[in-house]
Structure formats: structure tokens, C-alpha cells
Amino acid sequence: MTANSVLQITVYVLVLLACAKPLGGYMARIYEDRPAGLNRWLAPVERLIYRLCSVNPAVEMRWTDYTVALLLFNLLGLLALFALQRLQGVLPLNPQHLPGISPDSAFNTAVSFATNTNWQGYGGEITMSYLTQMLGLTVQNFVSAATGMAALVALTRGFARRNADTIGNFWVDLTRGTLYILLPLATALALVLVSQGVVQTFSPYRTVALTQPVTYEQAKLGDDGQTLEDAAGNPVTETVAVREQTLAVGPAASQIAIKQLGTNGGGFFNVNSAHPFENPTPLSNFLEMLAILLIPAALCHTFGVLIGDTRQGWAILAAMTVVFVTLIVVIVPLEQAGNPALSALGVDQQPQASQPGGNMEGKETRFGITNSALWALATTAASNGSVNAMHDSFTPLGGMIPMWLMQLGEVIYGGVGSGLYGMIVFAIVAVFVAGLMIGRTPEYLGKKIEAYEVKMASLVILIPPFVVLVGTAVAVMVDVGKASVANAGAHGFSEILYAFSSAGNNNGSAFAGLSANTPFYNTALGLAMLFARYWLAVPTLAIAGALAAKKVVPFGPGSLPTHTPLFVVLLIGTVLIVGALAFLPVLALGPVVEHLQLFGAH
């Protein structure tokens, strides 16, 4: 790893951690309804929303009512987005006159954005109208993120309260998370991105003259649309000169800001954050990459404040950061070492004065290897899914690391809210294991962890591997699953495994070699996203209700301190062991085999 790489990584991690405390403290004040500036200035707007929706903010909910409200709200959003896609051909704000979306693709996209996964089987600029992008996708970017944050806050109340029947009001948590946290941050980031050149307009696509016209040969077609052939049976070609290009534009900056902050990741354009209209400068790249992990990291401090012990939040943040930084130190050298297959073709992968060295396939030269690898880790650590490089072109082990990071359950920072409540579930399992070792009923944050909580925690941990492994197995067994794979052998298997790992862990990124916009994959991945989101949220809220009803157990000589370096190590070990045991065999069939084939042959 070069000194420049170390400097870039260090600056990124330090800025991220420096922002965690002030933002985390602000979010805690918002959810506790303490003065925080915006919640006083915009209080009339909040009250108006409650009146329009017939919500009494003073009435709290049991965990079952909270869960029903969450599921119904997300279901309505899913149905509205599905209808919007199907009808976009006859709706306004469609300057390119794009037709309605097919039923299977519309289902997949509606599920994807409602679940905060933002998996995309389509090209945004050739598929979605401005209205669908704004009213459908961008709105879901806000409310799906706010839903995850609300579930986390409800779980936090379960630890903070004693002998209580309620865990808060979903509608209040949803409104405050959107109005006071996501909207202000997204507005500020969108304005900065516009200043960097990210497009934000309602104008139709622009046709511009090329500064250097391009000519190429293509097959000549007859009147019947068939390729013409000469007497020898060879295709007849003609020279085509291209002097113009159509530039896709639109209201992109407003969607890009919340796609990063809300760990959504769905790109306005097909190539996502590698597109110069989404991510034009080094500053925009740094800010977007920072935004991906900003709220998940800050929520750790929010959690500590809400339970009255900030050390607990810092311990969880430390565990996340240790894993993240360790993987950075691994993935960057893997990509900087280059690809022997390219060397065999005569490609010079040594660093030069005018160009970076290493494996630059699928990467933007303006970002280089370090920022491409760092983004790949950030987007898969959070359940974000945006990309500024093509993960399909990484080295086998370089591509395996982001895949495995998703397979850990998206808890190394993770999605906004969902990542932290997933890590808290791992903490519950960690203290349960520690309790078994000493023959004592485990405790976490003053609450006894009993059979019910462990059963719910087991569901949260086991459902994602089940969804990923079963989905992958089905896809590699049926012809319609294998037909979409662009590469044979181990890499093709990795493409399928990555797709289901992304859908089953609510990430949304892709290896890109898989043609996933087919009825089979749209349906299979859509079902995987539904299970992975809500069959984890429901047990989490059940844990919240069970904990809120418990009394607080005083800390005693047999209690395990959960804010110490020892617990950080125990928590990391629990996460890694579960991830390794569940996915090591299947990883051996894909990226590990590919690595041995690639490097063993050279």
C-alpha cells in the first residue's frame, strides 16, 4: 500500500469518526424531543403532518402495533411505487416519453426501494421518467431509511425502559427522522453536489456535437432488416460517422444526496456513481463516500445517549471500525498488486508518472484504486449499494471482500438503523454465549437475555444466510438462472452468489456481469429482498417489546462489562465466526477457486 493510499484512507476514517459524536448527539435530541434547533423551528410543520394524518403523537404503541404500522406503511409505499412505474407512460414529467415498466421489473424495483435495498435491474436514464425518479424512487429513499431508523429507536427504548408496555409511536419516529434528520442533511448535500457539477434540471435530454467525430464499421442491413452478405457469405459493412451524442440529464442531485445518506444506493444513471453527472469531482466523491457511512456511524453515539451510557455506543462503533479498517488494509493491496491475466496480455500494471498502477479494469482513472476499493467497502459495509467502480472487474479476492462484508449481515456500520440493530442482535448473542461459559443468565445493558430474546435473535441472524444460499442454489440449478450469467465457471457462480448476497442483505450493489432484468431474477431477488428486510425487522421489534417489559437488573460481580476492549473482541469474533461458518464453503466454490485458477496459472 502506498503512502498516498494510507493518507487518503486515514483522512476518510478520521473525518467519519469526528462527525459521529455531533451528529449522533443531535439525532438523540430529535428522538427524545429535546431542543435541537430544527425541531423547534419546524414544529408547526410536524404538528400539521400529524393533523393531516390523524395521528396523536402522545399515544404510544405496543410492539405489535408498532410492527403493524411499519409493515402497512411500507406496503402502501410499495404498491404506490409499483403503480407509478406501470403508469409512467401516461403521466407528466416524462420528456423522453418513456413507456411504462414491465410488471416483473416494476415489482422488483418497488420492493427494492421500499426495503431500502435499491437493487436495480434496469438502466435509470433509459427506463424511469423524471416523475418516477422523484415521486417514486426519491420519496422511498427517504421513508425507507426513516423506517430503519425508527426500528432502531424502538429497540433502544426497549433497553432504556423498565416495566413498560410500549416502545414509542412509529408515525412520530418516522416523521421526526425524515423531517429533522434526513431532509436537512440531504438538502445541504444536494446543494454542494450541484456546485460540483451534479445535474439538477427538468430539461429534456441534450443532444450535443462531439468535439471529435467517431467513425466505425457496422453490418449493413437490407430492407427486410437482415444483415447483407457478399458472394462469399461475409457480412457487408458500412462506415458510420457519429457527430452527435445525447446526454441524459434530470433532477439527479436531489436523489443522489439521499441515496447516499439513507444508505439506499440506487443510481439516477445506469453506471451509478461512476457517472460524471452523478459524481464529477474528487470532492463530490469524498462527500458521497462520507455520506454513505455518516448516519450509521453517528447512530452508535445516538444509541449510547438514549440508553444513558455512551460507552456502549462507542464500543459498538469501535467493533465496526476495527473490521472495516482491517478489510481496507487487505483489499487495497490486492487491487494494487494487479491482475496476472492482464499482465499476460501485455498490459503494464506498474505505476507510472502519468497513470496509477495495479488492476485498473472497471475503475475510473479520476478516482484510482484506493478510492474505488474504499468506496466498494463503504457501500457494502453499509447497505448502500452505490458504486464508483465495477466490482465485477476486481481481482477474485478483491471482489470477495465486499461480498463477504455483505454476508456478515450488513452490520459493519450497515444501513441507517438496520445496521446498528443488527449489530445489537449480535451483541445479544455474544453475551448469551458468554453467559453459557460461566453458567449465569446473560445480561445486556441491564436486561436479562432469556430464551425468547435468543430465539428472536437467532431468526435475525439465520434468515439472511438462508435466503442467500437457497436463492443461489435454485438459480444455479435452473436454466433460466444460468442463462443470465455472462461468464462461465467460478466467476459466473460468483456473479449469482453476489446478487443474492446483495438482495438477501438489503445492499443493492451488483457484480454487473449478471443480466438480472429477467422475470426469474426480478421475482427471485424481489422475494429475497422482502424476506431479508421484514423478517428481520419483526423479530427485532419483538425483542424491543420483550425488553421494555423487563425490569433493570443491577450490575453485579457476575455481569459482563459490555463497554470494554474485551467485549469489542468478543463481538467481532461473534460476527466473524457466524459469517465464516455460513458462507465459507460457498465462497470456496466461487472467488477462492477463481483466485487459485487465475494466480496458479501465472
Rounded to whole angstroms, how far apart are CA atoms 79 and 87? Answer: 12
Q: Is the pLDDT of residue 234 over 60?
A: yes
pTM above 0.75, yes or no: yes
Side-chain-facing half-sphere of 530: CA atoms under 13 Å:
15
Please write the tens of the pLDDT for every residue from 94-110.
999 999 999 999 999 99
Return d(Cα 602, Cα 338) in angstroms, integer. 12
Question: How far is the C-alpha of 531 from the C-alpha of 515, rounded, in Å?
Answer: 22
Rounded Cα gap, residues 410 and 414, in angstroms: 5
Quick count: other Cβ atoms within 10 Å of Cβ 180? 24
Mean pLDDT of 118-122: 91
Per-domain boundaries in the chain:
20-201+252-307, 206-247
Stretch (H or E) spanning 560: none
Q: What is the pLDDT of residues 6-46, one digit of tens each?
A: 999 999 999 999 999 999 999 999 999 999 999 999 999 99
Question: Which of 9-34 are b and which e, b meaning 16 or more Cβ less than 10 Å from the residue's Cβ?
Answer: beebbeebeebbbebbbbbbbbbeee
Q: With bands split at pLDDT 50, 70 and 90, how would you rate the model's confidence at 337? A: confident
Specify the length of the chain in residues.
Answer: 602
* Model pLDDT for residues 474-495, shown as the tens digit of each residue: 999 999 999 999 888 899 999 9
Q: 162: alpha, beta or left, given left = phi > 0 and alpha = psi -120 to 50?
A: beta
